[in-house]
Structure 1
Amino acid sequence: MAKTWAYARASTKSQNLDRQIIQLKNFVDDSFIMCDKASGKNFDRPNWDLLNRVLDQGDTLIVCSLDRLGRNHKQMRDIWKDLFNRKVNIKILDCDLLSTNYEEYENDSTKLLLINVAFEVFFYLAENERTNIKQRQAEGIQVARTMGKHLGRPPATFPPNWKEVYVKWNRKEISQNKACLELGISKNTFKKLKSQYIK
């Protein structure tokens, strides 16, 4: 018997899945919602891997948006096509145009052609927009640098008690950890300030 599943993903452990889960609960019971918190660095998705093995022909997978399926456009495309070829129906809540129902396409070559064209157009536009965003960011950074503006995190500043604590640390009267505690800064900041101080 065909089942309906839902999948939610947050890109970082600090992000909240509640908004996605609230949306998905309109379609499936809690027990059929699988969730992962996967960073862009390692993209470890144990619940997606499990769900992907369980999904069978005729099942339906619901996601809030297509980007919950993958970390980049190529991965999203590969997963979407793999599910489509396995006859798993896909419901994408924020882009119904890309939702699929295999029974509708199985005997209608025109609909099958249209969904594939729509999918490729969607990805072309998404890739094009991503390229434009990167170009605008690069141009903005160049303009800011030309105007002498500092980009990124503000430079670290010396705490008022820096000299006193640094002298104690330099004489090995206190450890680096103790120095950081007294200064109220991290080890990385301590190293940066130390390199600036001894220049």
Structure 2
Amino acid sequence: MSETLYEYIRVSTREQNEDRQRIAMREFGVAEHNIVLDKQSGKDFNRPGYQRLMKKLKPGDILVIKSIDRLGRNYSEILEQWRGITKGKQAAIVVLDMPLLDTRQGKDLTGLLIADIVLQLLSYVAQTEREFIRQRQAEGIAAAKARGVKFGRRPMERPAAFEDIREMWEIGNISARGAAKQLGITHRTFLNWAIKDQKK
């Protein structure tokens, strides 16, 4: 049975433009009906195009992608999918941006082992970087708080006429909704401020 070439292209809904990936893979001469496109986030593998492609792949086929992050962002899941394709389906994968991730170069155990090691290294680096980013963010927030920086939405300033209208509300000359309308604030905001002042 002859091999079939497939291209998998994924762009996020924000990118929309898949031309860069198509141009990079043009030299492989993949038939148009074997180019699979998903316009979806890479957070998981629940993508319609990818799922259809997985059902089509058979032993000896070749899957071409521009870069490993076109498969997804979670490297532990990418590694699981990679093994499913190369070992389970016995198909080859070509990652254009990383020649070491080309399982056509070594269909023996050594070739697959090299690809596995590279993927595991990428997974480790990505996970470590995520942890560093979280740590830097936490340290930055702690340092800012120590300098007195306030986080969150700034409290709304009370209109100049608030006290006068609140007093009118307290003696029953105006309703809470009427007071809020005159002040240009919501009914809930007026009540929150007025009740808070009563408790002082």
The normalised TM-score by structure 1 is 0.67
Give the 5 Å matches for 1:113-128. Answer: 113-128=113-128
Give 2:181's aligned residue: none
Give the 5 Å matches for 1:24-173. Answer: 24-27=25-28, 28-39=30-41, 44-85=46-87, 86-101=89-104, 104-106=106-108, 109-151=109-151, 170=177
Call closer, same or farther: CA 1:121–1:44 in 2, change over 3 Å.
closer
Identity of aligned residues (%): 33
Please give the alpha-carbon distance, in whole angstroms, between the structure 1 residues aligned to 2:127 and 2:43.
21
Deviation for aligned residue 1:78: 0.7
Please give the alpha-carbon distance, in whole angstroms, between the structure 2 residues aligned to 1:42 and 1:20.
20
Give 1:23's aligned residue: 24
Q: SS at 2:107's partner residue?
A: helix
The CA RMSD measured in Å over matched residues stands at 3.4
Q: When the two structures are aligned, how many residues end up with a matched partner?
A: 169
Larger radius of gyration: 2
Deviation for aligned residue 1:50: 0.3
- Is the contact between residue 7 and residue 48 of structure 1 (CA under 8 Å) also seen in structure 2? yes
The normalised TM-score by structure 2 is 0.67
Structure 1: any 5+ residue segments left out of the alignment? 164-169, 172-182, 184-189
Q: SS at 1:57's partner residue?
A: coil
Q: Which amino acid aligns with 2:6?
A: W
- Is the contact between residue 44 and residue 72 of structure 2 (CA under 8 Å) also seen in structure 1? no
Q: Which amino acid aligns with 1:94?
A: D
Deviation for aligned residue 1:149: 3.5
Deviations along 1:150-171, whole A, 9 cap, x unmatched?
A: 557x65978x9xx9xxxxxx46
Deviation for aligned residue 1:111: 3.5
Structure 2: any 5+ residue segments left out of the alignment? 163-176, 179-183, 193-200
Give 1:5's aligned residue: 6
Give 1:166's aligned residue: none
Q: SS at 2:149's partner residue?
A: coil
Please give the alpha-carbon distance, in whole angstroms, between the structure 1 residues aligned to 2:39 and 2:116.
30
Call closer, same or farther: CA 1:79–1:149 in 2, change over 3 Å.
same
